[in-house]
């Protein structure tokens, strides 16, 4: 495989680019997941009909395996004798892919320590595409995430998309296709991926979630199975649960919001933000459904945080949601915001939201106790 990138680490908190989209084990071929069968069959038919486009844009939520799918497609296209629409595993092309040394397969991702794909990387890609295939077949390029191409890199990539090499395929993977330059989107065939059905995700996740509740993992990952599996790495679950416990302590005056901000900044700010967004989203759904949850009904800290957020006036909850979306955009941008200040501001906002709801909850509980 052509070395056009330094693959980002998947460890949280390192400052490196993170991706939980590719779960291809080392020294193995990739095969599409069961929930990707319709997209796989569609592309295989295009290959059989010789109607495969020169560029694909795989779009959908993060954590459902789009990058893994792209790698599987690359392995399939570079196999010399595929069987039943999967690579044979025995030919020269498969041997090279198994060793991750196929000279006609290039992967372009942000370099270590960076969130963006830079113009020099794309220039190297352009040279790769211009050369003749070393194995006499197709050349395949995987670019992920496409929205992280900086403006110069995106403009440089346009030339390859406008004047494609005769037997090359560019596979762009995007978790936020609206952030991909419009001129790039228009030159790619869009292939959309949705969250798998819950039953499919649980069937895949359950054998892998040893010692953990797969339903809880999937709930934490908002239904994305690979993201759920990622939570088993390191102390991600502990970070999430500590955040919930810390928010409850802030709500009931047992910890200051700035102390909590200092605690959570040791982890990955994006994890904090996504947990807050998920709890707030579930609370707003609860409000819309007119459901009431009594304090103490569910002792899990995350459920208690949701309960308190559901007690927030809907207008304030929606404004806070808009702020969380804006902060997430900042964290994912190339602006390199001050993460400590962002977290401190978020924890102060959470204190304001949760404290009022917590006081009302305590008052109601005291009234109930008085009546009893």
The values of phi and psi at residue 174, to 5°, are -135, 135
Q: What distance in Å separates the CA atoms of residue 270 and residue 102, rounded to the nearest whole number?
A: 34
Give me the pLDDT at residue 363, please.
52
**With contact defined as beta carbons under 8 Å apart, do 149 and 116 qualify?**
yes
Give me the pLDDT at residue 235, please.
84
Query: Assign residue 184 a region: left if phi > 0, alpha if psi is -120 to 50, beta otherwise?
Result: alpha
Give me the pLDDT at residue 80, please.
94
DSSP for 153-210 reads HHHHHHHHHHS--TTEEEEEEES-GGGS-HHHHTTSEEEE--PPPHHHHHHHHTTT-T
Residue positions counted in the chain:
372
Give me the pLDDT at residue 101, please.
93
Give me the pLDDT at residue 367, please.
45
Give me the pLDDT at residue 343, please.
92
Q: Bridge-partner residues for 266, per DSSP?
A: none
Could you tell me how far CA 182 lies from the centroid of its own chain? Answer: 21
Write the pLDDT tens digit of every residue in 67-82: 999 999 999 999 999 9
Single pTM value for the model? 0.85
Write the pLDDT tens digit of every residue in 311-351: 888 899 999 999 999 998 888 776 778 888 999 999 999 99
Give me the pLDDT at residue 371, please.
42
Give me the pLDDT at residue 334, please.
65
Token match 């304001």: residue?
352
Q: Is there a cis peptide before residue 145, judged by omega within 30 degrees of 0?
A: yes
Give me the pLDDT at residue 234, please.
78
pLDDT in tens, the chain (372 residues): 554 543 332 222 222 334 567 767 767 899 999 999 999 999 999 999 999 999 999 999 999 999 999 999 999 999 999 999 999 999 999 999 999 999 999 999 999 878 899 999 999 999 999 888 898 889 999 999 999 999 999 999 998 898 877 789 999 999 999 999 999 999 999 999 999 999 999 999 999 998 889 999 999 999 999 999 999 887 888 899 999 999 999 999 999 999 999 998 887 888 899 999 999 998 998 888 765 545 444 578 998 999 899 888 889 999 999 999 999 888 877 677 888 899 999 999 999 989 877 766 655 454 434 444
């Amino acid at each position: 495989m052509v070395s056009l990138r330094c693959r980002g680490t998947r460890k949280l908190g390192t400052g490196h680019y993170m991706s939980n989209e590719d779960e291809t084990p080392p020294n193995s071929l990739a095969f599409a997941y069961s929930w990707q069968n319709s997209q796989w069959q569609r592309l295989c038919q295009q290959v059989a009909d010789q109607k495969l486009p020169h560029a694909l844009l795989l779009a959908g939520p993060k954590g459902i395996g789009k990058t893994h799918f792209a790698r599987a497609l690359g392995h399939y296209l570079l196999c010399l004798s595929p069987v039943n629409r999967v690579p044979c595993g025995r030919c020269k092309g498969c041997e090279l892919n198994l060793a991750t040394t196929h000279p006609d397969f290039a992967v372009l991702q942000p370099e270590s320590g960076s969130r963006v794909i830079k113009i020099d990387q794309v220039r190297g890609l352009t040279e790769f595409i211009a050369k003749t295939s070393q194995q006499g077949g197709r050349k395949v390029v995987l670019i992920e995430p496409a929205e992280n191409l900086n403006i110069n890199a995106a403009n440089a990539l346009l030339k390859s998309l406008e004047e494609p090499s005769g037997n090359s395929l560019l596979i762009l993977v995007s978790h936020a296709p609206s952030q991909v330059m419009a001129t790039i989107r228009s030159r790619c065939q869009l292939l959309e991926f949705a969250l798998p059905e819950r039953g499919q995700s649980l069937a895949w996740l359950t054998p892998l979630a040893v010692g953990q509740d797969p339903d809880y993992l999937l709930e934490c990952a908002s239904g994305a199975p690979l993201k759920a599996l990622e939570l088993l790495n390191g102390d991600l679950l502990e970070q999430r649960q500590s955040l919930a416990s810390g928010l409850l302590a802030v709500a009931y005056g047992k910890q200051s919001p700035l102390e909590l901000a200092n605690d959570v900044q040791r982890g990955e700010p994006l994890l904090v933000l996504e947990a807050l967004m998920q709890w707030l989203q579930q609370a707003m759904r609860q409000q819309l459904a007119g459901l009431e949850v009594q304090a103490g009904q569910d002792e899990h800290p995350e459920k208690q945080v949701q309960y308190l957020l559901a007690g927030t006036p809907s207008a304030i909850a929606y404004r806070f949601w808009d702020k969380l979306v804006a902060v997430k955009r900042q964290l994912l941008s190339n602006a390199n915001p001050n993460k400590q200040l962002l977290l401190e501001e978020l924890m102060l906002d959470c204190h304001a939201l949760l404290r009022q709801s917590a006081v009302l909850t305590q008052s109601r509980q005291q009234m109930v106790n008085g009546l009893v």
